[in-house]
Amino acid sequence: MVICVFLHITYSLFISRPTLTIFFSQFAYFFKLTATFLFGLTSCFFFLATF
């Protein structure tokens, strides 16, 4: 329920303010980069730990 309301608010914000959309897309890109880096780091650590 809360997630639906949150999604609706962000969706309406995306439509009303294009600058916010650009900001959120940049934030999503940065988050994706960070997640990929952390995933690679942990997988490398586990790979080293098995040996």
The dihedrals phi and psi of 29, each to the nearest 5 degrees, come to -65, -45
Instruction: State the pLDDT confidence band at 19, using cuts at 50, 70 and 90.
Output: low
| Segment 22-43, tens digit of pLDDT | 777 788 888 888 888 888 888 8
Provide the mean pLDDT of the chain.
78
pTM of the model: 0.43
Query: What's the pLDDT at 30?
Result: 86
Domain ranges of the chain: 1-50
> Please, which pLDDT band fits residue 17 given cuts at 50, 70 and 90?
low
